[in-house]
Structure 1
Amino acid sequence: MLAATEKALEAEMNRLKLAVKTLQGEDKSEEIYIGSYLLARLEELGVTSMFGVPGDFNLGFLDLVEDHPTIDWVGNCNELNASYAADGYARVKQGSVGVLLTTFGVGELSAMNGMAGAFSEMVPMVHIAGVPSLRQQATKPMLHHTLGDGRFDAYIKAAEQFTYSQAILTNTVSAGAEIDRVLSDCVIKGRPVYITLPTDLAYAKISSDRLKIPLPRHPSPNNADVESFVIDEIVKQIAEADGDVVVIADACAIRHDAIDELKDLLYKTGYPVYCAPMGKSAIDETYERYGGIYVGSISRPEIKEKVESAKLILSIGSLKSDFNSGNFTYSIPTTRTIELHSHWTNIKYAEFPNIGMKQLLPKLTARLEGGKAKALQLEVPRFDAHVPQETDDIISQAWFWPRMSKFFEPKDVVIAETGTSSFGILDVPLPKDSVFLSQILWGSIGWTVGSTLGAALAAKDCNLNRTILFVGDGSLQLTVQELSTMLRKGLKPIIFVLNNSGYTIERFLHGKERKYNDIVNWKWTGLLEVLGDLDGTLSKSYTVNNKSELTELLENPKFAAAEVLQLVEVMMPKHDAPRALQVQAELSGKTNQYAL
Structure 2
Amino acid sequence: MSASMDIRTKSLSKPVNVAQYLFTRLYQIGIRSVHGLPGDYNLVALDYLPECNLKWVGSVNELNASYAADGYARVKGISALITTFGVGELSAINGIAGAYSEMVPVVHIVGCPSTISQRNGMLLHHTLGNGDFNVFADMSASVSCAVAKLNDPAEVAAQIDHTLRECYIKSRPVYIMLPSDVVEDQVEGARLDTEIDLSIVENEPEREDYVVDLILKTLHSSKKAVVLADACAIRHRAVPELTAFLDKTNLPVFVTPMGKSAVDETKENYGGVYAGDASHPDVKALVEGADVVLAVGGLKSDFNTAGFSYKTSQLNTIDLHSDHCVVRYSEYPGVKMGGVLRKVTERLDMSKLSVQKIAHVGPQAVAEKLEGADQIIDQKWFWPRVSDFLKENDIVVTETGTANFGIWDTKFPKGVTGLNQVLWGSIGWAVGACQGAALGAKDAGSDRRTILFEGDGSFQLTAQEVSTMMRHDLNIILFVLCNDGYTIERFIHGEEAEYNDVVEWKYKELVTVFGGSEQRTKKYRVNNKGELDALLNDQDFNDRKGMRFVEVVMDRMDAPNSLRLTAEASAKNNARRE
2:115 equivalent in structure 1: 134
In 1, the alpha carbon distance for the partners of 2:40 and 2:89 equals 13
Match of 1:4 in 2: none
Task: Give the equivalent residue in structure 2 for 1:29.
Answer: 13
8 Å contact 2:37–2:59 — kept in the other structure?
yes
- Asked whether the 8 Å contact 2:232–2:299 carries over to 1, the reply is yes
The answer to whether 1:466 aligns with 2:449 is yes
Tell me the equivalent position of 1:89. Answer: 72
SS at match of 1:29: coil
The match for 2:275 is 295
Aligned-residue offset at 1:129 = 0.2
Counterpart amino acid of residue 257 in structure 1: R
Aligned amino acid, residue 504 of structure 1: T
- Residue 359 of structure 1 aligns with which residue? 339
The letter of the residue matching 1:555 is: N
Task: Give the aligned partner of residue 170 of structure 1.
Answer: 151
Query: Do structure 1's residue 413 and structure 2's residue 413 form an aligned pair?
Result: no
Q: Is the 8 A contact 2:300 2:308 kept in 1?
A: yes
How many corresponding residue pairs? 566
User: Residue type of the partner of 2:159?
Assistant: E
> In the alignment, residue 310 of structure 2 is paired with which amino acid?
Y
Matching of residue 378 in structure 1 with residue 357 in structure 2: yes
1:402 to 366, 384, 396: 384
Pair 1:266-2:246 in alignment: yes
- The amino acid across from 2:20 in the alignment is S
Q: Which residue of 1 aligns with 2:574?
A: 592
Question: 1:42 matched to which residue of 2?
Answer: 26
Contact 2:296 2:321 in 1 (8 A): yes
**SS at structure 2 position matched to 1:439:** coil
Alignment partner of 1:576: what SS?
A: coil
State whether structure 2 residue 539 is matched by structure 1 residue 560: no
Task: Kindly provide the amino acid, as one letter, of the partner of residue 454 in structure 1.
Answer: G
The 5 Å alignment of 1:146-157 reads: 146-157=127-138
Distance (Å, rounded) in 2 between the aligned partners of 1:276 and 1:439 = 13
Structure 2 residue identity aligned to 1:381: H
Task: Show the 5 A alignment for 1:70-469.
Answer: 71-93=54-76, 96-242=77-223, 244-371=224-351, 374-375=354-355, 377-383=356-362, 384-388=364-368, 391=372, 393-462=375-444, 463=446, 465-469=448-452
Q: Which secondary structure state, in structure 2, belongs to the residue aligned with residue 355 of structure 1? A: coil
Say if 1:112 and 1:118 are closer, same or farther in 2 by CA, change over 3 A: same
Code of the residue aligned with 2:109 in structure 1: it is I
Q: C-alpha separation between the residues in 2 aligned to 1:221 and 1:555?
A: 49
- The corresponding residue for 2:3 is none
1-structure distance, mates of 2:26, 2:231:
24
**Cα 1:447–1:430 shift into 2, 3 Å:** same
Matching residue of 2:503: 520
**Structure 2 length as normaliser, TM-score?**
0.95
Contact 2:222–2:354, Cα closer than 8 Å, also in 1: no
Q: Encode CA deviations 1:329-356: one digit per residue, 9 max, x unaligned.
A: 1111110001111111111111111110
Alignment TM-score, normalising by the size of structure 1: 0.93
CA deviations 1:302-350 (Å, max 9, x no partner) are 0000111110010100000001111111111110001111111111111
Distance 1:582 1:386 in 2: 23
Once residues 357 and 411 of structure 1 are traced to their aligned partners in structure 2, the CA distance between those partners, rounded to angstroms, is 26
Percent identity, aligned pairs only, is 48
Distance in 1, matches of 2:10 and 2:314, equals 52
Report the Cα offset of residue 564 of structure 1.
Answer: 2.7
Q: How far apart are the structure 2 equivalents of 1:554 and 1:116?
A: 36
- The alpha carbon displacement at 1:382 in A equals 4.3
Q: Post-superposition shift, 1:559?
A: 0.5
**C-alpha displacement of 1:425:** 0.7
Provide Cα deviations, 1:383-417, integer angstroms capped at 9, x if missing partner.
43442355461101111111111100001001000
| Counterpart for residue 562 of structure 2 | 580
Partner of 1:53 in structure 2? 37
1 CA distance for matches of 2:168 and 2:51?
25
Task: Give the alignment of 1:482-493 within 5 angstroms.
Answer: 482-493=465-476
Query: Residue 278 of structure 1 aligns to a residue in which SS?
Result: coil
Question: Structure 1 residues 27 and 123 mapped into 2: Cα distance closer, same or farther (>3 Å)?
Answer: farther
What SS does structure 1 have at the residue aligned with 2:418?
Answer: strand
Aligned with 1:568: secondary structure?
Answer: strand
**Aligned 8 A contact 1:256 1:342 in 2:** yes
Q: Is there any run of 5+ residues in structure 2 with no aligned partner, and where?
A: 1-7
SS at match of 2:139: helix
CA contact (8 A) 1:269 1:371 kept: no
Q: CA deviation at 1:510?
A: 0.5
SS at structure 2 position matched to 1:128: strand
The structure-2 alpha-carbon separation of the partners of 1:506 and 1:179, relative to structure 1 and needing over 3 Å to count, comes to same
Residues 176 and 206 in structure 1, CA contact (< 8 A), matched pair in contact too: yes
- In 1, distance between residues paired with 2:397 and 2:10? 46
Please, which moves more after superposition, 453-462 or 510-519?
A: 453-462
Matches of 1:458 and 1:121, distance apart in 2: 18
What SS class does the counterpart of residue 520 from structure 1 fall into? Answer: coil
Measured in 1, the distance between the counterparts of 2:98 and 2:228 equals 24
Q: 1:369, CA displacement in angstroms?
A: 4.8
- Say if 1:411 and 1:464, in contact at 8 Å, map to a contact too: no
- Residues 105 and 382 of structure 1: is their aligned pair in 2 closer, same or farther, counting only changes over 3 Å? same
Deviation, 1:360, is 1.6
**Superposed CA RMSD:** 1.7
Q: 1:432 to 1:464 in 2, by over 3 A?
A: farther
State the secondary structure of the residue aligned to 2:48.
helix
SS of the equivalent of 2:81 reads: strand
Aligned partner letter, 1:61: A
Q: Please list the CA deviations of residues 447-473 of structure 1 after superposition, one character each: whole Å capped at 9, or x if unmatched.
A: 011101110011123425211000011
Asked if the contact 2:403–2:453 (Cα under 8 Å) also holds between the matched residues in 1, the reply is yes
Provide the rounded CA distance (Å) in 1 between the counterparts of 2:20 and 2:186: 9
Structure 1 residues 316 and 131: CA distance shift in structure 2, 3 A? same
Answer whether contact 1:271 1:372 (CA < 8 A) is retained. no
* Segment drifting more, 183-192 vs 462-471: 462-471
CA separation in 2, counterparts of 1:26 and 1:45? 29
Q: Is the aligned partner of 1:530 residue 2:513?
A: yes
What is the rounded CA distance, in whole Å, between the counterparts of 1:489 and 1:325 in structure 2?
37
Structure 1 residue runs of 5 or longer lacking an equivalent are: 1-23
Q: Distance in 2 between the 1:372 and 1:121 partners? A: 37
Residues 126, 192 of structure 1: 8 Å contact kept: yes
